[in-house]
Structure 1
Amino acid sequence: MSLKSWLQGDSQKSSSFKRKSPETEISDSNSPAKKKIFTKELRQSSFDWYVQDTNGLWHCKLCRENKHDNAYAKGHEVPAKTTNHSRHASSQSHLNAVHRSTMKTQKPMQKLLEAKLHKDDEIALNLLKTAYHIAKRELPKDEKRHMVDYASLLGVELSKSNCNVQYTSSQSVSEFQAALAEVILDDKIKAIQQSEVYSVTLDESTDNGNLKRVIMYAQCVTEHGLEYCLLSNKQISEGSASAKNIVSMVVEELKSKGLDITKLVGLGTDGASVMTGLKGGVVKLLKEHSPTLIGVHCAAHRTALATSQAAKLVPHMESYSRSIASVFRYFHNSALRSNRLRTIQTQLNLPSIKFAEVHSVRWLSLDHTVQVMYRSYPALCMALEKGGNL
C-alpha cells in the first residue's frame, strides 16, 4: 500500500469520528429517553414440547399426555426460564414421557402383533374356505384332514407349523361352518329387512326320531335378483303340529330375526289342511297379523297330487305301480337276491345299481324308479329267471 493511499484512508477514518455540533447535542438532550423493554424469547426449536393450552398455561405436553405429576405437567401462568427447561428436559420424569411418546409413535409391538395377526388371519381364512367347501359339496367333515394335508403338499399353509392344534376335527369343522352360517344368515336377513315385502315357505314334517319339525324359508326380491334363505328348522316341543302352534312359532321366529310381519305378503305351503284350512289354517291365522297375505299352494306338491290322482283313474297304471314296488321289495328284503343281482350286473358289464323305491308322498318318484330299473333290465330278467317269481 502507498503512503498516499494510507494517508487518505486515515483521513476518512478520522472524519467518521467527528464531534457533534452543539445544536445537535441540544436537540438530543431535549428528546425523551427510550426505555428498554424486556422481552422473553422462547426457543421452540429446543423445547418444542413447551406449549400453551387453551387456558393460557404453559406446560410440557409430553408430561401432561402421560399424566405425570410435576410442575411442568400442571403448567405455568408465566413462561418459565430456559434454564428451568433444561433441568426439566434432563429429569427422569420427562425422559420417561419422551420414551413413552416415542413408543406410541413408532408402535413396534403393535406392528409386530399386526404382522402376526395378519398371518393368523390368512390361516383362519383358509380354514374357513375349506370348511365352506366341505359344506357346499356336502362332504364328510373328516375330509378336512385330508384336504389340509394335500394343501400342504401344494405349498398352501392351512395350519400353524409350530402348533399341535390343526383344527381338522369334526367339532372344529362344525364350529367353522356354524360361524359361516351365522354370517351368511345375517347378510340375508339384512337384505330381507331392506326389502319392501317378503314371503315365507313353510313345511312341517317328522324326522327320523319321530319328532315333529317346522322348516321355514324366506324370499325377497333385491337389485341382484331373488334372495332366499333358511330361517329356521325347529322342533315343535310343546303340543302337536296344530295351526296355532305353527303360527306361534312363525311369529316368534320373525320377531327374533327383526322382520316386520306386516311386510309378509306370501306364504307357500304343501296344501295340507292344517296349512290351508279356511277357518283355522295357518294362512287364515297369519292374515290377522298381515291382512295382505296370500297363501300359495306349492306347485311341486300340486303336480304330485295331480299325477297320483290321475293314475288312479287308469287301472293299468295302478297295477303297473304295484309291480314296480314289488320288484324293489323282492331284492331289498333279501341280501342273497341282491348279491345275485350284482353278480349278474358285473358279468353283463352293467352298472351295479340298486332299485329305487316308489314313494307315495314323493312327486314323480315312479319315473325315477323306472329309469333305474331300465338301466339294468337284462340283469333283472336273468335274476328273476334264476330266483323264481316275485
Structure 2
Amino acid sequence: MLSLKYVEGAKPGQPIKRKKSESETKDDAKKRWKDYEQKRVDRSFNYEWQIGRPWLKFDKEKGVITCSACINVYGTSGSGGSNLKGKNAFITGSTNMKKSSITDHENSTSHVNAISREKAKHSTPVQQAKSVAGKTLLSMKASEKHRIACLFRAAHGLGKQGRPLRDFTWLCDVNEANGVDLGKTYRNPKSALVFLSYIADAERDKTTKLTNTAPAYSLLMDGTTDLSGDEQECVYIRAALNGKIIERFAGIGSPKSTCSKDLKEFVDGAIGALKLNKDKMIGLGSDGASNMVGSKGGLATLLKQDIGEHFVNVHCFSHRLGLAFRDAVKKNKLYEKLMTLLIGVYYFYTKQYKNKKGLMSAFEVIKVKPHMPPKVTGTRWLPHMKQGIAVLLRNFNAYNTHMSDASHTNAKAEGLVKIMLDKHVLTFALFMQKLLEPLCNLQEKLQRQDITLAHAMAWIETTMELVMSLETRYCNLHLLSA
C-alpha cells in the first residue's frame, strides 16, 4: 500500500524545495558579501553626503571622515558621553566610506546631543529663550525672582514703618499663610538687613544720578534727638529736573556736635558719600537756629564762604510763620489763659484714669461723641493749637458738666472750669479758631513739594487779606464781651 502525504504548495512534476536552516542562511549571506567585496571597486567619499550636514568633514590626505560637532563637544579622545561601541570613529577618523555609516552616526544619541550643545553655544538670546531648556530655566528664574521680590517688599515695609527686623520672620510666615511662596531661605532678621542695605544702595545710586543730572541743587536740613538723646541731623536734596521739582533723602547721622563747623563736616561727608558735585550746590533750607543761619559763624555762612557768593540761605517759610504767630500772641494775657486751659485739660484727662472715666460718663449723659483732648505743645504749633481749640469747643458741655461736679473736691478742676467759663477766654478762643484756619492752610501750602517763590508770595498776600478782615470782627466781639 502506497503512503501518500499532502504538502501545501506542491505541484505535479516539480521537486519540493527544502527550507534552509538559520545557520545555512547566514553562511550564504557571508558568502555573497565576500564575493561582493572581492569584485567591488574601491569606495570613495561622495561630497553630496555633505549637503545638509555641515558637521561632516573629509580629510583627503588621510582619507578619513570626521564629525566637527562631536570633536568640539567630546574632544579627540573619543570619551565624553558617546554611546557608540568602542571609540567614536567619527572623532578619531572613520575610513568606512559608506553612507549607512554616516546615517548611523547621524542618528546616534551622542551626535544628537553634540548638535544640540553646539546650537546652544551659537544661538541668540531669543533662540535660547524659545528652547525647551531656556523656557525651563526662565520659569525657574521667574519663580525665584518672585520669591526674592516678595522678601524685598517685606523688608522694605518693615523699614518704612519703623518696625524691628525681628518682625521679618513672622511677616514671612503671614505671607506664606496667605498663599505666597517665599521658599525656606532668607527668612531671618540678618537677611532682612541685607535686603535693606541693597535697597539703600539702589536708592542712593538713583539719588546720585538724578542730582548730577540736574543743573543745580540745594539742601534741606534739620535736626532732632533720638530716644537715647543723641543728636540726629537729617539731610534732603532738592533740585529741578526737566521742569519738575524732586526731593531725595540724602542721609541721616550724628555729627560730633551741633556747632556750625561740625555740621559743615557732616554735610561734606553726606555729599561725598553720594559722590555729588559740590559746585552745583546753590542753597540751604533750614530753621532759624543760630548755628544754621548765623551771619558770622552759621552753617549757611560757612558754606557760602566755601562755595561762593551765589549761595543762598532760605529760612523755612512754614517755620517762620509759626515763629511769627508765637511772637504776635505770646504777650497776650488771653492767649496765656487759653494755653493754660488747653494744656491743663489735656493732662487732667490723660494722666488720671478716674477723670477720664468721669468725662466718658459725661459724654454718655449729654449724648455727644467722645473726643479726648489733644496735646497742643508739639512742634507743629499752629495745627496742634487749632485742633485743641476745636476739641475744646466741641466738648465744652462735657467738660463743663464733669469739671463743675469735680470742682467740689478737686482744686485743679475748679481752676480749669473757672478759666473755661470766662467769656473773654471763650471769645478769644472763637477768634483764634477763625484766625488759625487761613494760617494753617497757608502753612500747609508752604510745605508743598512743588512750591515756587511766586506761589508763596501770592498765598501770603491772600492770607494777609483774610487775617486783616478779622480785625474788625474781633474788636466788635471784644467790645460786646466787655
Matched, 1:285 2:302: yes
Which of 310, 315, 327 lines up with 2:328 in the alignment? Answer: 310
Which of 94, 97, 120 lines up with 1:83 in the alignment? Answer: 97
Aligned to 1:49: 55
Letter in 2 for 1:295: N
Whole-Å separation in 2 of the counterparts to 1:368 and 1:328: 12
SS in structure 2 of the partner of residue 43 of structure 1: helix
Which of 221, 224, 231 lines up with 1:205 in the alignment? Answer: 224
Superposition map of 1:59-78 within 5 A: 60-63=67-70, 65-66=72-73, 68-69=75-76
Aligned to 2:145: 121
Deviation string 1:180-209 (CA, Å, 9 cap, x unpaired) is 554344334321221111111001121221
**C-alpha contact (below 8 Å) 2:105/2:111 kept by paired residues:** no
Query: Cα distance, 1:84 vs. partner?
Result: 10
Aligned to 2:252: 233
**C-alpha contact (below 8 Å) 1:300/1:363 kept by paired residues:** no
Matched, 1:158 2:183: no
**C-alpha contact (below 8 Å) 1:197/1:263 kept by paired residues:** yes
Deviation string 1:210-230 (CA, Å, 9 cap, x unpaired) is 111100111111236211122
Structure 1 residues 207 and 126: CA distance shift in structure 2, 3 A: closer
Query: Cα distance, 1:326 vs. partner?
Result: 2.0
Aligned to 1:366: 385
**C-alpha contact (below 8 Å) 1:188/1:227 kept by paired residues:** no
RMSD: 4.1
SS in structure 2 of the partner of residue 196 of structure 1: coil
Aligned residue pairs total 330
Identity rate, percent: 19
Letter in 1 for 2:181: S
Unaligned runs of 5+ in 1: 1-37, 53-57, 72-78
Unaligned runs of 5+ in 2: 1-43, 59-64, 79-92, 121-127, 413-482
Aligned to 1:102: 116
Whole-Å separation in 2 of the counterparts to 1:241 and 1:192: 27
SS in structure 1 of the partner of residue 249 of structure 2: strand
**C-alpha contact (below 8 Å) 1:199/1:219 kept by paired residues:** yes
Superposition map of 1:267-282 within 5 A: 267-282=284-299
Query: Cα distance, 1:327 vs. partner?
Result: 2.0
Aligned to 2:470: none
SS in structure 2 of the partner of residue 66 of structure 1: helix
Aligned to 1:17: none
Whole-Å separation in 2 of the counterparts to 1:186 and 1:46: 53
SS in structure 1 of the partner of residue 344 of structure 2: helix
Query: Cα distance, 1:311 vs. partner?
Result: 0.5
SS in structure 1 of the partner of residue 144 of structure 2: helix
Structure 1 residues 51 and 195: CA distance shift in structure 2, 3 A: farther
Matched, 1:261 2:278: yes
The alignment's TM-score, normalised by the length of structure 1, stands at: 0.69
Aligned to 1:298: 316
Q: Which has the higher helix share?
A: 2
Query: Cα distance, 1:63 vs. partner?
Result: 4.3
**C-alpha contact (below 8 Å) 2:220/2:286 kept by paired residues:** yes
Letter in 1 for 2:51: S
Deviation string 1:335-366 (CA, Å, 9 cap, x unpaired) is 22122223322443433333222227433132
**C-alpha contact (below 8 Å) 1:50/1:59 kept by paired residues:** yes
